[in-house]
Amino acid sequence: MEVRIPKRTLAEGLSILERIIPSRSSNPILTYLPVELSEQGLILRGTNGEVDIEVKLPAEVRGRGQVLIMAQTFTQIVRSAPGELVELIFGNGERLELHSGAFNTQLSTTSPDGYPELSFGPPGVEKIAAARLAQAITRVRYAASTEEYRAIFRGVQLEMSPTSLRAVASDGYRLACYDLPMQLQPRKLVIPARSADEIVRVFKDAQGEVALAVAEGTLTLVGEAVRMSVKLMEGEFPDYGRVIPQSFVLEATLQAEALRESLKRVAVLSDRNNHRVNLLFNNNRLDIDAESDYGRGREELSIEASGEPQLMVAYNAQFLIDALAPIEGAVRIKLSGTTSPSLLQAVEDSGYLAVVVPLRV
Closest CB to a second copy among residues 90, 178:
90
Q: How many CB atoms lie within 10 A of CB 200?
A: 18
Dmax (CA) for the chain in angstroms is 81
Closest CB to a second copy among residues 12, 294:
294
Closest distance of CB 92 from a second copy, Å: 16
Closest distance of CB 290 from a second copy, Å: 9
The answer to the question of residue 15 lying near a second copy (CB under 8 A) is no
Among 86, 134, 196, 266, binds a second copy (CB under 8 A): 266
Closest CB to a second copy among residues 154, 260:
260
Closest distance of CB 281 from a second copy, Å: 16
Identify residue 193 by its one-letter amino acid code.
A
Closest distance of CB 329 from a second copy, Å: 19
Using the rule CB under 8 A, give the single segment among 1-9, 112-120, 211-219, 298-306 that binds a second copy.
Answer: 298-306
Closest CA relative to residue 106, chosen from 121, 91, 119 = 91
Closest CB to a second copy among residues 108, 207:
108
The Cα–Cα gap between 76 and 158 comes to 36
The Cα–Cα gap between 266 and 280 comes to 13
Closest CB to a second copy among residues 75, 316:
75
25 CB contacts (<8 Å, ≥6 apart)?
31
The Cα–Cα gap between 5 and 59 comes to 5
Among 108, 163, 310, 339, binds a second copy (CB under 8 A): 108
Using the rule CB under 8 A, give the single segment among 84-92, 158-166, 178-186, 262-270 that binds a second copy.
Answer: 262-270
The answer to the question of residue 257 lying near a second copy (CB under 8 A) is no
The answer to the question of residue 268 lying near a second copy (CB under 8 A) is yes
Angle subtended at Cα 120 by Cα 117 and Cα 123, rounded to the nearest 5 degrees: 160
Closest distance of CB 95 from a second copy, Å: 7
> Which positions from 39 through 78 interact with a second copy, judged by CB under 8 A?
70, 73, 76-77
Closest CB to a second copy among residues 212, 266:
266
Closest CB to a second copy among residues 82, 186:
82
Closest distance of CB 100 from a second copy, Å: 9
Residue 78-97 contact track with a second copy, rule CB under 8 A, x = bound: --xxx------------xx-
Closest CB to a second copy among residues 268, 361:
268
Judged by the rule CB under 8 A, the positions of this chain that interact with a second copy are: 70, 73, 76-77, 80-82, 95-96, 102-108, 261-262, 264-266, 268-269, 293-301
